[in-house]
Structure 1
């Protein structure tokens, strides 16, 4: 088969302790999935889960022990950090029951859902899609993936983000409104999940703006931390 131009390389994420890398298919993100974050965004209660997508090539892949450089994006004056636990899907399927969902998770990583908040808010006011606020280049930093069997009690792990050494976000994955199994159940009813899908599972309260020069250090207990410098 021939192409008009060279197809892009497969986007992939390193795996802790393995030479093989995790090839990425799609990036799904869960909105407002911690109660206190929902409240700070002006919402309350356990609303039905909702999702948005980022392009696979929006990933900014950062190796363990390294600091990734994220260019401050264009068109925004209000770039927000959102620290998240990322679930990496290893077995696909449709209409997956919550009771069976965890067998579909291959591993976990620390991720950031970076958001051009001013552009997102403008889109909301006009009833337009959020893509320009959520799906821009480098908007999904991610650290190495840890196989599920080696990730410890990640479903009840502390999750945190520091900016320039000061706490911005700190919570526990156990406070997810819709846990990972329930999220997979809802998500797989809308899309057929595939091996290589990543699910950014939501962010706790404390989202705020960053500027060029800031150092972001994200963590989920038991996983390699994610370090990103805004440049």
Structure 2
């Protein structure tokens, strides 16, 4: 299933993209694509619903029908750094012996095609296409062999990053990662049964039509089941938590010379089977 949330910011309703690319309203079945509606039994119930009997939502998604973040009421937005061997190399850094963990604040979350704002005073705003895990069944101390039982599905994230704030301003990475609008999420949450082999998904990102990132989840160092298990040792994972798993090479910081967003650009990015995003870059 491709689950989504549509409508004006803060007023999104739950929906589903059917096989003909029409959006079906799920309001009669779930209150939101969030929390307990992502539990395995809830997703199983949705998968058995008569989709053709559900109301069709007017408009074309991502054209004249706005999509909001594909997960609502996200409790934790957890990110993994330097998790692609080729991205670590372009950053001039070693692959870490354990995953680098940081946070994006949930106030950074926006829809997949909403504007991305450059923070006031920023000189080094950058892009990162990433595969995100959406937690279904929560848990602590999850065994790696059981980890996929806790995954509801996957989605696209643009891990927008301010590199000066992240690297040069002292302290943790978080201050350069969680600015408002730095977490476009969607267009849809694709359930794991429909994604199939999540270890071999093509990923790409363009700025003003120029392809900068062109990678694959196959070069991910710490794989999805390991990450779910690893993180559950340090915190309880809960339904609707989002884990962004790192980016392939081609970020602005890695260009020679570096290329950063200044305002006015258009970013387009996507992942095989998970859809694409388009964001205009504006100044805050």
TM-score w.r.t. structure 2 length?
0.71
SS at match of 2:218: helix
Greater Rg over alpha carbons, structure: 2
Give the direction of change, closer, same or farther, for the CA distance of 1:16–1:109 in structure 2 (3 Å limit): farther
CA contact (8 A) 1:157 1:174 kept: yes
Cα deviation code 1:48-79 (max 9, x no counterpart): 112111122210122xxxx3212222231110
RMSD of the alignment, in Å? 2.0
Listed as ranges, the matches of 1:11-160 within 5 Å are 16-17=17-18, 19=26, 20-22=32-34, 23=72, 24-62=74-112, 67-123=113-169, 126=170, 128-143=171-186, 144-160=188-204
Q: Does 2:225 correspond to 1:181?
A: yes
Alpha-carbon distance in 2 for matches of 1:132, 1:44:
22
> Any runs of at least 4 consecutive aligned residues in structure 1 with deviations exceeding 4 A, and if so which?
9-18
Alpha-carbon distance in 2 for matches of 1:59, 1:207:
20
Alpha-carbon distance in 2 for matches of 1:59, 1:12:
16
Could you list the runs of 5+ residues in structure 1 that have no partner in the other structure? 1-8
Per the alignment, residue 223 of structure 1 pairs with 274
Per the alignment, residue 239 of structure 2 pairs with 195
Deviation at 1:13, TM superposition (A): 8.4
Deviation at 1:153, TM superposition (A): 2.5
Deviation at 1:103, TM superposition (A): 1.2
CA contact (8 A) 2:110 2:184 kept: yes
Aligned residues: 216
Alpha-carbon distance in 1 for matches of 2:147, 2:141:
10
CA contact (8 A) 2:157 2:185 kept: yes
The one of the two structures with greater contact order (alpha-carbon pairs below 8 A, sep at least 6) is 1
Deviation at 1:16, TM superposition (A): 4.2
Deviates more, 1:145-154 or 1:185-194: 145-154
Listed as ranges, the matches of 1:201-216 within 5 Å are 201-208=245-252, 209-216=260-267
Deviation at 1:31, TM superposition (A): 0.7
Per the alignment, residue 164 of structure 1 pairs with 208
Cα deviation code 1:165-211 (max 9, x no counterpart): 11111111111000011111111111110001000000011110222
